[in-house]
């Protein structure tokens, strides 16, 4: 099979990991998030993609930042279960649930369970920086 020059196959290697994709810090700066890691599956490893695909994994008691931004994104739960806060409401998520997060919506993902909570996140490659919300 011939793959076009800018196309790429990134093979799954088991245990919610992909060949050549390293686990990264969730964010470069410190904040109130906890026990969360990030894996950029499609991003800088592809020439000029218009979208990025990331896998996030939250361990027991962990959470993402409470934030909002001007860009939209899509979250697909693929491991375990957890919760998402959208605005002031909290919703349970489980395997293969999909969330569309509209622009300027305050959101946060959390995991109160013993098993890891993993989800894919799809965003545009050119996007604004998140605005953190304090005790929202």
Task: Compute the average pLDDT of residues 83-91.
Answer: 98
How far is the C-alpha of 110 from the C-alpha of 59, rounded, in Å?
Answer: 9
For residue 45 the two structure tokens come to: 């490893």
Q: Does residue 128 lie in a domain region?
A: no
Centroid of chain to Cα 25: 12
Q: Does residue 6 lie in a domain region?
A: no
Residue 60 contacts residue 114 (beta carbons within 8 Å) = yes
| Distances from the Cα of 63 to the Cα of 45, 57, 111, angstroms | 27, 9, 6
Give me the percent of the chain exceeding a pLDDT of 70. 96
Give the chain's end-to-end CA distance (angstroms, integer): 51
Centroid of chain to Cα 38: 7
| Band of pLDDT at residue 2, cut at 50, 70 and 90 | low
Q: Does residue 113 lie in a domain region?
A: yes
The 10 Å Cβ neighbour count of residue 37 is: 16
Q: Does residue 46 lie in a domain region?
A: yes
Task: Compute the average pLDDT of residues 113-132.
Answer: 96
Residue range(s) defining the domain that contains residue 92: 19-122
Tally of structural domains, the chain: 1
How far is the C-alpha of 94 from the C-alpha of 79, rounded, in Å?
Answer: 8
Residue 106 contacts residue 90 (beta carbons within 8 Å) = no
Output the domain CATH number for residue 64: 2.60.120.10
Q: Does residue 44 lie in a domain region?
A: yes
The mean pLDDT of the chain is 94
Q: Does residue 106 lie in a domain region?
A: yes
In this prediction the pTM is 0.93
pLDDT tens digits along 24-55: 989 877 788 999 999 999 999 998 899 999 99
């Amino acid at each position: 099979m011939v793959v076009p020059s800018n196309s790429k196959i990134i093979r799954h290697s088991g245990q919610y990991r992909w060949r050549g994709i390293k686990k990264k810090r969730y964010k470069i700066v410190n904040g109130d998030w906890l026990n969360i890691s990030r894996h950029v599956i499609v991003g800088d490893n592809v020439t000029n993609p218009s979208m990025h695909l990331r896998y996030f994994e939250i361990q027991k008691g962990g959470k993402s930042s409470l934030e909002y931004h001007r860009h939209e994104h899509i979250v697909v739960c693929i491991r375990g279960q957890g919760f998402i806060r959208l605005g002031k409401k909290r919703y349970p998520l489980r395997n293969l649930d999909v969330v569309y997060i509209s622009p300027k919506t305050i959101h946060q993902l959390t995991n109160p369970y013993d098993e890891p909570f993993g989800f894919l996140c799809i965003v545009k490659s050119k996007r604004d920086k998140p605005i953190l919300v304090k005790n929202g």
